[in-house]
Structure 1
């Protein structure tokens, strides 16, 4: 194979450094799979150790920070003996990724640039063209398709025969989008993240960001791919079509890792990187009862003294399942409550009821499991009464932590398709503050019927409902205390205490 000794470079866009201590997990999965296949890789993920707190000063100067990270990224790439460079891309990052690709071509003119991620998956031809610096796109899951593309490029084979790939054919003067890659493989077979490829000492620093509000040395894990929900504000229903096209019907097309494979990864992280906790980034970790119970039983049996959190849906857990999860070390569940009336939930196709929200939060409080409530405002047709309902519901269910988010219409969502949408030139606006966009560009970003100041409402109600004691009560949680007592990196908590204090002040004041 030609150039087999060269390195495949995998790159995070500079703006991803906004994510507090969150590793580039998607790139790590791809890198791990390629390495398993004998291909050399390098992950370029520039970090900012001196500006972790996202305070007012950070947001005023964020473009300067992004520029510094971009310069670092290009410099790193220029020093790598690489022939193929992959860049992951969300829709708001389109301009950023195109600019980065142009700069990379200047320092690596002979390298092929490949983009993947959600935007190329939803719009595979959007980044291609006769004048584009991007040579290929990968749509759908990237492991198999990128591996096959690397082999084809290096062996000079016909790209047209590959699946899950797009490119611009200069000779034909047209864009070529090949067939979808079938997901006919077990998730366990490609779930081997390249932890050695990133700075794990940085990413496992004690912080309150992974399990939100819990100060701990943590790592993010993925137990599944896909989401069964049909929420009109999310791209998951559109992405799920890839699973259906592969004939995957169980769990509404969601693919799961096995409990043992997941547990082994946790044990590996505990042994090698001394984590004290982990957080499942899955859209819905609690979807499959057998997988969850199997994993919990392994955790209970192991007595690893780790705590963890996950995202859940109120109608996928009950008192008994929550009790089992707690026994296995689960200390927090994040719920997408979103709305406070059945009518509004129905409009958003949430598939949940207010009574289920109340019952689940009651069970969490009864068991002493922290419950996080994500709420959504500025949705189509929202009234002042809907906002009052939100306040009343929060007062009743008393979440430990509340986040009130202002809706923004992302391409790929049902609401985006049903409304005025955005032009491609407007995609970078999605990087801006949603409340500010709704105020300054109501023609594109204001969906609520009322005239309430969205930013003021969100700020006021989050401060009102994020009370001090429910936030700090985690420090008295027996499972949490036990995890700290058994930690092999206690000094790291002392080193990071200043960060915790600064973040608390930033959030509260």
Structure 2
């Protein structure tokens, strides 16, 4: 049975980490799947032609806030051209309210709810074997048209089951695309605008597998590896050995981490003084310095410790820092935002990154 996964990225330089993990999990379990990566700038008919040439029986799409309109239009075209194909969607924009999604886009046959490696591969096995029983965590409509949630949102508990997501790494490097990576999933914090804390737990890929993955990146001379772990520096016993290993490596690769600066211990700060210049860069999410705003969104920041630790990191002049703010958060009007901006700007980071609040499906903020 021929199956295709379609990733529509926002830019050419991006890579679709989520679908790459799904693709590799299927391959590891001897399930034939082809991954197509395009962008929202690619003409719809060009992507349609790429899909239809393969004559797939199953077409899977990952739906995000940046590509939802594009993917929905593509789904309509796929249904017209491949009337018998099963259309499967997953991703944060569709996983949490299946009934609404089926009403929005009647062409959809199945919705993957949550992390899709295991349940999507099980769905493909069931379809191949003409099994009428739909696997858990796959929403669908029954013969009477009623939406069946079938287990709800799921996560992959054992990240050791996941393969290396870049079998085509040499090509990725040659095309100057960004390499994303994760060694953990989930987050213990409960920020109301974010999806990462939904599982209320953090799952870790075994260290030996992480180090082997990182060796692949360094062997291929990847310029930049961006860790997408929501809060990389949660567990010093886990994250610090990785950093030690990378700091000692003979490589020109830079590793980007999203960290919470107020969690950095004295032990970690002293180690970071010794890291070769340009080896690491840190993205530090401040989001706001307004106490009322932080309370409303469920975010905990120790501003004094954060500011002190950022100052120490900047003194070393060996790690590029950029700090993040989000405009549009609750209780932060223009006056309050100006104060947050000035507070962060006053730390003199190498970059101040401004994002605008996006209310994502499935978040606490979206439900309020």
Same-fold status (TM-score > 0.5): yes
What is the aligned partner in structure 1 of residue 159 from structure 2? 187
The CA distance in 2 between the partners of 1:174 and 1:70, in whole Å, is 31
2:212 paired residue number = 264
Question: Contact conserved, 1:203 with 1:219, CA < 8 A, in 2?
Answer: no
Find the aligned partners of 2:305 and 2:347 in 1 and give their Cα distance.
Answer: 11
Q: 1:178 aligns with which of 121, 142, 150?
A: 150
1:326 and 1:196 map into 2 onto residues whose CA distance is 35
| CA gap 1:130/1:263 in 2 versus in 1, 3 angstroms | closer
The structure that has the greater radius of gyration is 1
Aligned to 2:82: 108
Deviations 1:236-277 (A, max 9, x none): 33x32xxxxxxxxxxx50111122211111111232x33133
Structure 2 Cα separation of the partners of residues 30 and 277 of structure 1:
23
SS of the residue aligned with 1:82?
A: coil
Give the structure 2 partner of residue 455 of structure 1: none
**Higher percent of residues as strand:** 2
TM-score after normalising by structure 1? 0.66
SS at match of 1:22: coil
The alignment partner of 1:127 has SS state of helix
Normalised by the size of structure 2, how large is the TM-score?
A: 0.90
Q: Corresponding residue for 1:168?
A: 141
Q: Aligned in 2, Cα 1:92/1:184: closer, same or farther, shift over 3 Å?
A: closer
1:335 is paired with a residue of what secondary structure?
strand
Within 1, Cα distance between the matches of 2:19 and 2:105? Answer: 27
- 1:254 pairs, out of 202, 207, 217, with 202
Q: Following the alignment from structure 1 to structure 2, what is the Cα–Cα distance between the partners of residues 299 and 134?
A: 44
Is residue 403 from structure 1 mapped to residue 363 from structure 2 by the alignment? no
State the Cα deviation string for residues 440-473 of structure 1 (Å, max 9, x = none): xxxxxxxxxxxxxxxxxxxxxxxxxxxxxxxxxx
Distance 2:144 2:194 in 1: 36
**Does 2:240 align with 1:287?**
no
SS of structure 1 residue aligned to 2:239: helix
Query: What's the Cα RMSD here?
Result: 2.5
Q: Map residues 107-126 of structure 1 onto 2, 5 A cutoff.
A: 107-126=81-100
Corresponding residue pairs, total:
365
Q: Which residue of 2 aligns with 1:377?
A: 327
Cα distance in 2 between the residues matched to 1:344 and 1:81: 51
Q: Post-superposition shift, 1:76?
A: 0.4
1:393 corresponds in structure 2 to 343
Gaps of 5+ in 1: 48-64, 206-217, 241-251, 419-509
Q: Is the 8 A contact 1:345 1:353 kept in 2?
A: no
- Gap runs ≥5 in structure 2: none
How many Å separate the matches in 2 of 1:135 and 1:165? 10
Distance in 1 (CA, whole Å) between partners of 2:133 and 2:275 is 47
**Counterparts of 1:313 and 1:34 in 2: how far apart (Å)?**
34
1:11 counterpart residue number: 6
Is the 2:111–2:140 Cα contact (8 Å) retained in structure 1?
yes
